[in-house]
């Protein structure tokens, strides 16, 4: 994932591998030997010897295939399911980080984007919305549930009374999204704008857009930018204060010994520090977002073969 972030930043083609099969071959060999010699007195030596040996072998083989064709398009270019994004929030991931990574807009408020072709600064109201949603989540004033047991993709966002801090955060969310003040539950739909004040419309990014935005914050050598080897992503101090980098990637001639993950790319080392808990969490969230695009009903699990000998 880290290497693909670098490839996207340097305008190289990202490569994802899918596990096609897992084959595990094992063997257990044993041998026992008993030998000895009995000689008449005075004509040789009498001795005995017992020996044994055992050997265990475990030879796993994993077959990877490049992700391509329909599966590539579905995994990288399809919008992330809105319901799955919100379930990440419900499971405990910070609402501001999840929506900052995965949303294009919410009720017409646009997120910042660092893509090379259509970079945009982002609406300050979207940044304020992220803060309010995070505050409401901390106060347990924000909840997410399925609309019905039959349709798990239909998601409802609801507000509840949870103290002064929670009430202030909910009031701010209602104001920014122009929600009906008399309603406590809101249907979540996919799109740019809601049809009425009882809906929350979320336009989600594709995995490739998520990668492009996160890659735009990766720290790269100034010489590569000056030579045109990598695109620059200029941001003002106000932009960075509203939409700071979620992922900190360092570079150098050698990787530190305590790096969480490190890759060698273009004759340099790039890494995420093992002491940077936030960046490690974001990297894991990227992996989860990528897995959300997999259609589990259509994709078969990898074949596992374990021969017995």
Mark whether 188 and 277 lie in a shared domain.
no
Mark whether 153 and 199 lie in a shared domain.
yes
Residue 297 pLDDT > 50: no
Last residue in a domain, options 205, 235, 250: 205
Mark whether 37 and 102 lie in a shared domain.
no
Q: Residue 298 falls within a domain, yes or no?
A: no
Residue 170 is predicted with a pLDDT of 93
What is d(CA 286, CA 115) in angstroms, rounded to the nearest whole number?
A: 16
User: Residue range 43-60: average pLDDT?
Assistant: 74
Least confident span in 171-180, 236-245, 267-276: 236-245
Q: Residue 217 falls within a domain, yes or no?
A: yes
Under 8 Å between Cβ of 110 and 126: yes
Residue 100 is predicted with a pLDDT of 93
Mark whether 178 and 194 lie in a shared domain.
yes
User: The tokens 């990227």 sit on which residue?
Assistant: 286
Residue 55 pLDDT > 70: yes
How many domains, the chain?
A: 3
Residue 295 pLDDT > 50: no
Mark whether 105 and 127 lie in a shared domain.
yes
Residue 296 is predicted with a pLDDT of 41
Q: Residue 74 falls within a domain, yes or no?
A: no
User: Residue range 229-234: average pLDDT?
Assistant: 83
Task: Give residue-wise pLDDT tens across range 113-122.
Answer: 987 777 888 8
52 is in which domain, residue-wise? 20-65
Among the ranges 16-20, 199-203, 285-289, which has the highest mean pLDDT value? Answer: 199-203
What is d(CA 112, CA 120) in angstroms, rounded to the nearest whole number?
A: 6
User: Residue range 150-171: average pLDDT?
Assistant: 84
Mark whether 174 and 268 lie in a shared domain.
no
Residue 264 pLDDT > 80: yes
Q: Residue 29 falls within a domain, yes or no?
A: yes
pLDDT bin (cut points 50, 70, 90) of residue 152 is low
Output the six-digit token pair for 1: 């994932």
Mark whether 87 and 200 lie in a shared domain.
yes
Mark whether 165 and 214 lie in a shared domain.
no
For the chain, the average pLDDT equals: 83
Residue 43 is predicted with a pLDDT of 66
User: Residue range 8-12: average pLDDT?
Assistant: 88
User: Residue range 243-263: average pLDDT?
Assistant: 89
Output the six-digit token pair for 176: 């920014």
What is d(CA 105, CA 109) in angstroms, rounded to the nearest whole number?
A: 5
Last residue in a domain, options 155, 174, 205: 205
User: Residue range 63-75: average pLDDT?
Assistant: 71
User: Residue range 270-282: average pLDDT?
Assistant: 91
Mark whether 132 and 234 lie in a shared domain.
no
Mark whether 218 and 185 lie in a shared domain.
no
Mark whether 85 and 151 lie in a shared domain.
yes
Q: Residue 125 falls within a domain, yes or no?
A: yes
Q: Residue 37 falls within a domain, yes or no?
A: yes
Report the predicted TM-score, pTM, of the whole model to 2 decimal places: 0.76
104 versus 154: the higher-pLDDT residue is 104
Mark whether 52 and 145 lie in a shared domain.
no
């Amino acid at each position: 994932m880290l290497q693909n972030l670098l490839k996207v930043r340097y305008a190289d083609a990202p490569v994802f591998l899918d596990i096609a099969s897992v084959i595990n071959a094992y063997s257990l060999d044993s041998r026992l030997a008993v030998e000895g010699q009995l000689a008449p007195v005075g004509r040789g030596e009498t001795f005995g010897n017992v020996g044994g040996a055992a050997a265990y072998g475990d030879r796993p083989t994993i077959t990877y295939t490049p992700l391509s064709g329909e599966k590539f398009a579905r995994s990288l270019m399809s919008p992330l399911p809105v319901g799955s994004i919100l379930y990440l929030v419900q499971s405990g991931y910070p609402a501001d980080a999840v929506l900052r990574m995965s949303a294009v807009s919410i009720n017409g408020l646009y997120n910042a984007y660092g893509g090379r072709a259509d970079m945009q600064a982002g609406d300050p109201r979207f940044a304020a919305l992220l803060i309010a949603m995070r505050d409401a989540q901390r106060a347990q004033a924000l909840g997410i549930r399925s609309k019905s047991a039959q349709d798990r993709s239909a998601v409802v966002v609801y507000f509840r009374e949870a103290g002064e801090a929670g009430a202030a955060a909910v009031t701010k969310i209602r104001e920014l999204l122009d929600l009906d003040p008399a309603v406590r539950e809101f249907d979540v739909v996919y799109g740019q704008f809601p049809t009425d004040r009882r809906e929350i419309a979320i336009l989600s990014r594709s995995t490739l857009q998520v990668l492009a935005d996160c890659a735009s914050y990766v720290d790269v050598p100034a010489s590569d930018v000056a030579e045109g080897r990598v695109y620059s992503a200029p941001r003002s101090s106000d932009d960075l204060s509203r939409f700071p980098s979620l992922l900190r990637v360092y570079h150098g001639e050698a990787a530190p010994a305590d790096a969480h993950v490190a890759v060698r790319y273009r004759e340099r080392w790039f890494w995420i520090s093992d002491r940077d808990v936030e960046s490690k969490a974001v990297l894991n969230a990227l992996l989860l977002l990528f897995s959300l695009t997999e259609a589990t009903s259509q994709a078969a699990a990898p074949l596992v073969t374990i021969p017995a000998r």
